[in-house]
Structure 1
Amino acid sequence: MAHINENRDALLGRIKRIAGQVGAVERALGGNANCTEVLHLVAAVRGAVNGLLDEIIVEHLEAHVARDGLSPEERQQGAEDLVTIIRRYSK
């Protein structure tokens, strides 16, 4: 997927921030953090992961469904791939 490679640095930056947020959750659980602090940290991680997923979904749509020059079969496959991922995510 060339579109992922084009945006690799930005995506990796997001992943590193998410890893840092997960580390903060781990430190909070290992320390004396109260449940409210932990909940806020976990909510931040979830938001960051959702943001990453949203960005990749948009890139997928642009590259594999909406891009000019795609055959009907390529569009169909791109749409089917996305439906599979959305169904898996929404479970």
Structure 2
Amino acid sequence: MAHIEQSKKKLLTRVRRIKGQAEALERVLENKASCMDVLQQIAAMRGAVNGLMTEVLNSHIEEHLGADDISPQQRKEEVADVMAILKSYLR
């Protein structure tokens, strides 16, 4: 997971942004905001989570699936693992 360690600062920044957006959504709901305010905050959070997922997924694919030193069996297992996570994520 060297790619996670290399991107740690950037990933944590994204996670903190998502946390801030979740807190903002909570405040909006507590303050009886309009439906549009709630929807806008949810859309912002979803975009931030999608960006985080994309960044981690891209680096994982490059480092693990794109590696020259893994066997075809290891590659097949990695693909199956990624597909299972994607199926869960896209539900």
Please, what TM-score do these two structures have when normalized by structure 2? 0.93
Question: Which moves more between the two structures, 66-75 or 13-22?
Answer: 66-75
Q: Distance in 2 between matches of 1:42 and 1:49?
A: 11
- After TM superposition, the runs of 4+ consecutive aligned structure 1 residues lying more than 3 A away are none
Q: Greater relative contact order: 1 or 2 (C-alpha under 8 angstroms, separation 6 or more)?
A: 2
RMSD: 1.1
- Give the deviation of 1:65 after TM superposition: 0.5
1:24-80 CA deviation, whole Å, 9 max, x = no partner? 000000013111011000110011001111111111101111122222222122211
Structural mapping, 1:71-90, within 5 Å: 71-90=71-90
Instruction: Say whether 1:11 aligns with 2:11.
Output: yes
Gaps of 5+ in 1: none
Partner of residue 36, structure 2:
36
Q: Contact (CA 8 Å) 1:65, 1:79: kept in 2 or not?
A: yes
Number of residue equivalences: 91
Q: Distance in 2 between matches of 1:70 and 1:3?
A: 17
Please, what TM-score do these two structures have when normalized by structure 1? 0.93
Gaps of 5+ in 2: none
Partner of residue 63, structure 2:
63
